[in-house]
Amino acid sequence: MQVPYSVSASNGVGSPKVVGFFDQSTGSCQYICIDEATGACALIDVVLNFDPAAGRTSTESAQWALDFIQREGLKLEWILDTHPHADHLMASSWLKQRTGAPNAIGEKTREIAQLWRELYNLPDSFDPDSDFDRLFADGDEFAIGGLTARVMLSPGHTLGSITFVIGDAIFAHDTFMQPDAGTSRADFPGGSASDLYDSLMAILALPEHFRVFIGHDYGTDTRSSPAWESSVAQQKAANKHIGGGVSKEKFVEIREERDAKLGLPDRMLHALQVNLRGGRLPEPERDGHSYFKIPANRF
């Protein structure tokens, strides 16, 4: 499988090497965050490949990451997700089964689970405490080898999205996009353009030389190649939705007007019932097969 990827070099002690790799079908940016001093690494927002027309999952992206880790002689210490994704299925459970590494997500995933229990009419489903080894709170810290990772609560795209700040690398998920593309949508259940603005401002308050790694890229009218790295300084100066000091009122107007024109991701109703199980498919029925439950006329 050909996977577009690039390497962002470490900037010295305490700064991770970051391998970004891309899923063409969903525009998803996935990451291997590496402590070169110890060989420890973490996987962030890795995709479980999915064909929605056939209802079929596969593991090309996750296997590519594991092959890279093995080839480079790295040790996987964490499987991390920034939020329960609406546009792709997460590979967290499969990666944990294959490697034994712990998986983690934000603690407000519990609240997202409650919201989607109602939307799916599955009152007894989704228990993040059993499907993830750790549910991070705002301000939590943990280690990847000798690197210190800090968790920032970054709601807006979802009510429970988190950002990982690892050395000088910011894994900003669905907050910023590339400066020429703007910001991420905030119209999913539990989302808020006002909250997203506050999250963006908190990220922009970090040092200007910090690298920003985003969750998605779809290109632009003038750029066809995917890209996923920028800096706080570049986002602050040139982001098309928020650069140059756009007010909160103006940003919310821009974001909500844009979101009103967007259709739902084609994987969303499949993805949430998987991702709120940590990437596990629904429990097999008596015939041994799993089945998706899709709510009709709810959106």
pLDDT tens, 239-295?
A: 999 999 999 999 999 999 999 999 999 999 999 999 999 999 999 999 999 999 999
Whether the Cβ atoms of residue 111 and residue 84 lie closer than 8 Å to each other = no
Whether the Cβ atoms of residue 181 and residue 220 lie closer than 8 Å to each other = yes
Q: Where do runs of H (alpha helix) occur along 37-77?
A: 60-71
Whether the Cβ atoms of residue 57 and residue 89 lie closer than 8 Å to each other = yes
223 secondary structure, DSSP code: -
| Residue 182: both structure tokens together | 């703007």
| Residue 110: both structure tokens together | 């519990």
Neighbours of 221 (CB within 10 A): 6
Question: What phi, psi does 167 have (nearest 5°)?
Answer: 60, -125
Summarize pLDDT for 189-245 with one digit per residue, the tens.
999 999 999 999 999 999 999 999 999 999 999 999 999 999 999 999 999 999 999
Distances 136 to 121, 170, 206, 213, 254 between C-alpha atoms, Å? 27, 16, 20, 20, 31
CA distance 33 to 211: 12
Residue with tokens 């300084």: 233
At residue 3, does pLDDT exceed 80?
A: yes
Summarize pLDDT for 88-98 with one digit per residue, the tens.
999 999 999 99
CA distance 176 to 41: 24
CA distance 228 to 246: 22
The distance of Cα 180 from the centroid of its chain, to the nearest Å, equals 20
Four-CA torsion 186, 43, 164, 9, nearest 10 degrees? -110
Instruction: Go through the domains of the chain in sequence order and give each one's CATH number.
Output: 12-264 (3.60.15.10)
Within the chain, what is the greatest distance between any pair of CA atoms? 58
